Amino acid sequence: MTPTATTLGTSRFLKQRWLPLSALLLGALLTLLSSASDAARDNERWARGRILVQAKAGMALPDFDRALKRHLAKRSGKRVHGRGAHIVSLPLGVSEATAADLLSRDPAVEFAEVDRLVEPEGITPNDPYFASAWHLAKIGAPDAWTYSTGAGVKIAIIDSGVDGTHPDLASLLVAGWNFYDNNSNTADVYGHGTKVAGAAAAVSNNGAGVAGVSWQSKIMPLRVSLPDGTAYLSAIATAITWAADNGARVANVSFQSAAGSPTVQNAASYMKSKGGLVVVSAGNSYGFEAFAASDSLIAVAATDSSDAKASFSSYGAYVDVAAPGVGIYSTVRGGSYGAVSGTSFAAPVTGGVIALMMARNPALTPAQIESILKSTAVDLGTSGRDDYYGSGRINAAAALQAAGGNPPPPPPPPPTGGGSGGGSSTTATISATLPSGQSSAAAGSTITANWSNISNAASTNWIGLYVPGAASEDHKGVWMYLSCSKSAGVALASGSCQFSLPSTLAAGTYELRLHAPSSWTSIAKSSTFIITSSSSQGGSAPTLTLGASTAAAGGTVTISWSGIDTPSPYDWIGLYLPGASSSAHNGAWIYVSCSKNIASASASGSCPFALPSMLAAGTYQFRLHSSGSFTAIATSGNLTVSGGASAAISLTSNSSSVIRGSALTLNWSGIVPASPSDWVGLYQPGAAESEHNGVWIYLSSCGKTTGTSRSSGSCALAIPTSVAAGNYELRLHLAGTWVTAVRLGSMTVQ
């Protein structure tokens, strides 16, 4: 029988719609499970018809597509941020939750999750006239501001938008994006984002409103929320990546459960690779959250004014640190102010501290910043890390102290010489005016610094006190911006400032240096002048003694001190080569608390001092410094160190001469254990460790980003044409410190 047209059409249709039996059975199973699975999660909401799936690293797209097909899913052609999770489509009627669960167990898949709609946290406004910013004093923000107010750092507020007309926010906003409407309108549609932005960075010192933590940072508003304040995880992750690609160094995400999303964590890892950090709120569930710890972002719990965990604050293994989150006075949409509570506001308080650290020391890596944030936190609850407070409640003052060069220095910093902005005029002048009728000034007294003729003056031009010939970093702990404080103010082409000289300052000859904006480049020096000993020091001078005159690298020596007239918890001891610059302390130093954590002041005491295992054999000395500065108030006798593991390290080059614009080939071996942060720098003989002419590389990557540890290998070191001709040496440093394991001298640059 000849088939009819109708029969043929049916036959073709059946062929086109044919599916393997296994797929039909899976589809039936997914459909059956759909109602049960969704009912079990009826308190959650997510996008229908799509899920988020990340393929295993190295997985080819055809193989990934076959894995998706096994679960009736297919790629939509879109990814969360061009590199992250795929947005995967599901057939009508298939449970998103069940499909994500099954796909997460597939060997081709790294993770799969529903595209949840997450809620903003902490919308609990209190008295609108509440004016006691207790949280700023609690974290030591006023002391932290003597080091940094966050200038130059962009903070992305990934939220419901920001009120761009608010008087405490308007001047800080930079271009952002609206990921909900896909346009540039970032106005706050819900009110949450404006409060978060104010907690992080509201304008301060303006005679009105509130003070944000990092009040000279810029705010990048990124709207991800629906009009009701909720947001999809995919939008949050996309915004994080956009922020990283558009210059943000900090991104704040204050949404419930975002900390546990692998899609968000994936985007946070991308931002970390670009030099930024993502801060997320721990949540306001009043209970335990089973999220795993992640090193890609910083999850923040909330504390109250008594340093107790806020009752609403979620807790678990994922919590990194805690921060004030109860009664935080902030900006409110419409131009007003109010007190708010929630981990939503503990997160931006933490983000603000991170921005301060980044502004103080732009050379710090995200990992270093996170380490400092945790190591300087105030330990609460159970000793050590716990699920309620993480590493502890953040301490801005201690974090900012540790983030700068006083001590420790960054390992290694950006090239010396040359900050951004103006102030490079060679016609600038500076002078020091001593007390009337005197030819010298006593330590503890005040002198006046006068300057003029700075062309293109900037707010971060600064003046420091130096011994003539000292390294640029060795400013005796006495410096200020032209605002006459350690907070950057307005740009001043000419003016004067009062300098208070520390009472512990050693008698001798000094000079003032005027520097280009935020750099070590000196654009003018004063004439030299004399400082005499302070008449108020009284008593005997401080002493520093050793328990032994010899030790092995990797061993321990006992150091004792006494006679500190005005002890400070920031007094510290460093290990030096005799005659080295104060900033070149070989990466080995401690506070008088006998650790790198700040504790109480101590006029006298003793500490065990662990010598680095990689310390080169030679003669060393210890120096006792005053109050977190490079002002040495006592020096020990000499310590003879016998070689440790560094004795076996070698460094050679393919030539003892190199032409500017070409490269040297470096060969090294014997670094055990090797670190991704081992590095080599080019130096003028006798220069301080921090003055490496801007020419340096990590050995792990042969570049300025870390790679995989290598105990031996070869690298090309490019010599820019900007390097002056002359004699140089190469120094191999260990584990991102100033510890020099080996020097290669007699290098000629032509």
The encoded tokens of residue 62 equal 């055809």
The encoded tokens of residue 25 equal 């059975």
d(CA 730, CA 710): 18
Identify whether the C-beta of residue 133 lies closer than 8 Å to the C-beta of residue 210: yes
d(CA 138, CA 306): 9
Query: Is the C-alpha dihedral spanning 363, 369, 375, 380 positive or negative?
Result: positive
DSSP string for 158-203: EES---TT-TTTGGGB---EETTTTBS----SSSHHHHHHHHHH--
The encoded tokens of residue 684 equal 């003028």
Residue 653 a catalytic site member: no
The encoded tokens of residue 304 equal 């109250």
Helix (H) or strand (E) holding 7: helix 5-16
Identify whether the C-beta of residue 444 lies closer than 8 Å to the C-beta of residue 501: yes
Residue 86 a catalytic site member: no
d(CA 355, CA 351): 6
The encoded tokens of residue 476 equal 């005796």
Identify whether the C-beta of residue 578 lies closer than 8 Å to the C-beta of residue 621: yes
Q: Which of 166, 192, 475, 515 is catalytic?
A: 192
Q: Which of 159, 320, 386, 678 is catalytic?
A: 159
SS3 419: coil
SS3 37: helix
d(CA 118, CA 190): 14
C-alpha dihedral over 390, 392, 398, 400, to 10 degrees? 30
The encoded tokens of residue 403 equal 């983030």
Residue 184 a catalytic site member: no
d(CA 548, CA 553): 14
Task: Report the catalytic residues.
Answer: 159, 192, 344
